[in-house]
Structures are given as C-alpha cells and as structure tokens.
Amino acid sequence: MTDTLRLWMRHEAHPTEARAPIAPADARILTADGIAVTVEDSPQRIFPTSDYARAGCRIAEPGTWPDAPDDHHVIGVKEPEEKPFPLRHRHLFFGHAYKGQEGAGRLLRRFAEGGGSLLDLEYVTDADGTRVAAFGYWAGYMAATLAVLHSRGRLERPLRPLPERALAAVLAQRGEQREQQEQRGGPREGPRGEGAPTALVIGALGRSGRGARSALAAAGVATTCWDVEETRDLDKKALLAHDILVNAVATTEPAPAFLTRADLDAPGRRLSVISDVTCDFTSDRNLLPVYDRPTDWHRPVRRLREGPPPVDVIAIDNLPSLVPREASEDFSADLLPHLRLLGVRTPAWQRCLEMFHAARPHAALTKETDV
C-alpha cells in the first residue's frame, strides 16, 4: 500500500452531527497500511478522540483542516464551515450539489475559487451505479421509527440519539391509548387487523427501504412495500389509504411526483404521517412536493393539513445521526476498501471526480486528473 496517502478527518460544523466517516477500528487498519490519518478533536463525535489516538492517528485541533498541506484529502460527513470560503483541498463529503439543490451553486463556487475538488461520497459507485457506501439503511430505519412514534403520540422532543437496541425496545411498546382501547375491548393492533395502522414504504428494496421495513416490523405495523414496478403506474388512491408513508426513493432525473398538495385534500384520505428520507424539497427531482422546508431535531414534525385527519410531515436531513455509532460503523466498514485505494486511478473514484467536473464544467480546465 502506498505511503503517500494522507487523510484529514475534520470535526463536523453541524451541532447535531455526531457521525464519523471513519470509525476508530478502520482508522487503525488505515494507519497499519502506512496511510497518514489526522483526526480533529470533536466533543460531539460519537467516538472519543482517544480511540483514534490509540489507532495511530495524529490528533489536531477542531477546525484546523484549512491549514493542512495541499496533499491531504479532507474527509467529513457534511459540508465544512463557511470559512475559509475557497476550498483548495480534495474534499470527501456529502455535497448535495448535483441535482440543483438550494446552495449547490455556492458550494461549487467555493471549489472554483480555491481550485480544489469534491469527491462526493454519494457518487462513489460500482460499475452498475450502485453506491458502495451509504447511510441509507439507518436513514430509513429512523424515518420509519419517528413516523411510528409520532402516530402513537410518543415522539419526544427534542430528539436525541439512542442506540438501536433502545429504539427497537421503544418501537415494540404499544402506546398507552391503544392499550387502554384493548382493555375496553376495542380493536387490537395486528397485521391487517381492523383499525390497525398501516404503512407504505416506497423504494422498499433499497438500503433506506430495508431500514424502514426493519423498524416497521419491530413496531408490529402492517406494511405495504412498493418499488420500481409499483411506481411505474402509481395507484394514488392506494397510497392515500395508508396511515404512514415512508419515502425512500431518490431520483437523479425529474419524475412524476408520488404525492402533491392537491392529493392531501382528496376525499377519504387516510394518510396522516409522511416521513421523507430524501429531503429533496429544493430540487426539481423532488418526488414529494408537499412541503418546502425541512424539519429538525427540535421541531421534527410540521403540520401540512388540519384534516380530518390531519397530515404531518417529518423531513430531517441527518436522520442517521440519531443512531450515530451504528450508522458510522456500517458506513466506515463499507468505505474502507475504497479509502485504501484513494489516490489510485480506480474506476469508483474516477467516476466520482468526473461527476464533479460535469457539475462544474470549468473544473475540467484544471490540471487535476488523479483523485
């Protein structure tokens, strides 16, 4: 393995971002390979900085990545802080800048001014276009978890990170109101039972869809699963007949919306909770144009219609941070074999760089050809 690769993992600027793209166990493998890994101290990261020090990483102060030598790859989860504005390094993070999202132009200008490049972690794919590493499973898991808890009146605010085992236990508990209803001889919650809540997962076969299905199974919620076949000629009436909708579909091309604002006023609508994994509300690829701004940990739910029944949306753009350890360990393990080849002309990283050049055409005029 090359001894010239240098990685710098920065502290995350977002106050609720506890994830890490490289877990300590994988950092140990990288350093054993002779790769120089610098890790910024971070009080909010789920892994203690001391774990990285024991793994052989050099420790730096938070926010010092702008002073890193030019030959470093700077890695994070979300966009770095605004200062300095120009970005001169090769950066790895989720940029959300290639589908016309709000702020995309500003981010790409930062690279144009600094001469750096973005290796967007969302676009590190294999030859078939499948992402090699993603937080999608845990995004779907949490989208469904929050939807179920809200529908049962048990969603506590503000949200706080919890281990997956704790969330599974919470999901398995029935709400007090439902228990009282059963004691009075009312309808029992069960698969397809009369009065039982139902959920629909769109994109059920992908990573996020699998995560949503796992959470709904833990909660005992009867679930309908749609994927490509079911959405080619989408049955809007069937969609609206479910209590919960979890959207786990992201598209790179404009497509017909799954749900519109007019649909929320349809007679007989049963749908009352929409949980959107993708949060593409500023993009023309948005498949759920029923809301125009995200929700967050302090205000996780926004009402769209008063009803009856009312309709609420959950649209949080860092859902996996609610299970930061599990999400980080899974993502890091998947990314590790590709990080070990960073700096080598492998197809996955070259495709990633080509996406950046395509999004920012003048980047192709630079001398940079290697990742």
Active-site positions read: 78, 96
* Whole-angstrom Cα Rg for the chain: 22
Long-range contacts of range 222-229, CB-CB < 8 Å, 24 or more positions apart? 222/190, 222/191, 222/192, 222/193, 222/196, 222/197, 222/198, 223/198, 223/199, 224/198, 224/199, 224/200, 225/201, 226/200, 226/201, 226/202, 227/202, 227/203
d(CA 119, CA 134): 14
Q: Which two tokens stand for residue 103?
A: 């702020």
Q: Which two tokens stand for residue 140?
A: 């779907």
Can you say whether the dihedral through the CA atoms of 319, 323, 326, 332 is positive or negative? positive
Please give the helix or strand (H or E) that residue 91 lies within, else none. strand 90-93
* Ramachandran quadrant class, 185 (left: phi over 0; alpha: psi -120 to 50; beta: rest): left
Is there a contact between 224 and 212 (Cβ–Cβ < 8 Å)?
no
